[in-house]
Amino acid sequence: MDIGTPSILLIYTGGTIGMVQKTETGALVPVRFNQILDEVPELNRLGYNLKSITFNPPLDSSDITPKIWAKLARTIQENYSKYDGFVILHGTDTMAYTASALSYMLENLDKPVVMTGSQLPIGILRTDGKENLITSIEIAAAKQNGTAVVPEVCIYFDFKLSRGNRTSKRHADHFSAFHSTNYPLLAKAGVDIKFYHENIYHPNSKGILKANTNFDENVVILRIFPGMNRIVFESIMNIAGLKGVVLETFGSGNIPSVTWMMRSIKQAIRRDMVILNVTQCEGGSVKMGHYHASQELLNAGVVSGEDMTTEAAVTKLMFLLGQGLTTEDVKLYLKKNRSGEISE
């Protein structure tokens, strides 16, 4: 390996970027990573040391689980000293969940972990996959004064680089599939790649990378809607073994003013359930107590998710519940900014 030449590890989990169409059914199925590289000979012109690891079998992102998050984190940890940066090829549907989970798992991260994929398979003429892959590698390799320019988990898609735990998939068809509403871009690619250094997180002290891979899956996302059925709501809140609820509420954190809903929430909290309140809106923040409809939630001990995305909220709740903390400590750490997921 040449000294001074950027070294990047590509981790291929699967996803549309590496799929082909089956002749008999027309359905998209994953292919091997070397077939992807054959479609992008331009990578050879970067002059980087590129190595790859392929998950076997490649996974549609709908099949991603916390076990896969843990596998990704361990893969990065095991290869951390060998590479300047990491690029993860991943399906778009659950990319924001994986990016959020990795941002919590990778403690003391000071190298880029860039997630990308595509809306069209890389073998299709109009694919967005080539540009996404090439620029992601360039971002992962970018250094300034010997240190990584973007030392955090991020998502690159359609010329834009966003913080991973601030990003949501907002469109199923457009090339511009992802958006970070509550946090500005980290970089934008045009003729040059323009980095917005003031938006990029830099660790205060460098420690040894540690991968915390324990998650507790006994959580649920519960979206409030007008006319919600009492039996359905109470049944969910009383699921045996349930430890956490991400409550998607109206506006700045409001729920209907019906006695049975508030009573069910209070009973769950008394059973040590952790309830995290996030807004259904694409942008903005939960401000419990701002309206009467949310004041009781605040009084009952529901935790404000501030301006976290649902993806960031549910993965953070699963992560903290998996760390063996007390209920009160889980609530405390939910309020604290761990890796840039909450505005301060």
252: domain CATH number? Answer: 3.40.50.40
Sole residue written with tokens 């959020």: 100
Residue 236 sits in the same domain as residue 183: no
In-domain check, residue 44: yes
pTM check: above 0.85: yes
Token representation of residue 186: 């980290």
Within 58-192, strands assigned E span 85-89, 106-107, 113-116, 143-144, 147-148, 153-157, 160-163, 168-169, 178-179, 187-189
Res 29: pLDDT: 65
Q: Which residues contact 342 (CB under 8 A, 6 or more apart)?
A: 306, 307, 308, 336
Report CA 336 to chain centroid distance, whole Å.
18
Token representation of residue 18: 């590496």
Rounded CA gap, 20 and 14, in Å? 11
Which of 170, 192, 211 corresponds to the end of one domain?
A: 211
In-domain check, residue 180: yes
Characterize the bridge pairing of strands 193-195 and 187-189.
antiparallel
In-domain check, residue 340: no
Residue 227 sits in the same domain as residue 205: no
Domain range for 304 is 219-335
Residue 156 sits in the same domain as residue 245: no
CB atoms near residue 236 (< 10 Å): 14
Residue 304 sits in the same domain as residue 164: no
Which of 157, 192, 211 corresponds to the end of one domain?
A: 211
If one counts the domains in the chain, the total is: 2
pLDDT in tens, 101-125: 999 999 999 999 999 998 887 777 7
Q: Which residues are known catalytic residues?
A: 16
Q: What is the mean pLDDT of residues 237-255?
A: 96
Amino acid at 137: I
In 3D space, the residue among 314, 94, 315, 283 whose CA is nearest the CA of residue 183 turns out to be: 283
Res 289: pLDDT: 83
In-domain check, residue 343: no
Residue 183 sits in the same domain as residue 51: yes
Q: What mean pLDDT is reported for the chain? A: 91
In-domain check, residue 342: no
Residue 28 sits in the same domain as residue 169: yes
In-domain check, residue 38: yes
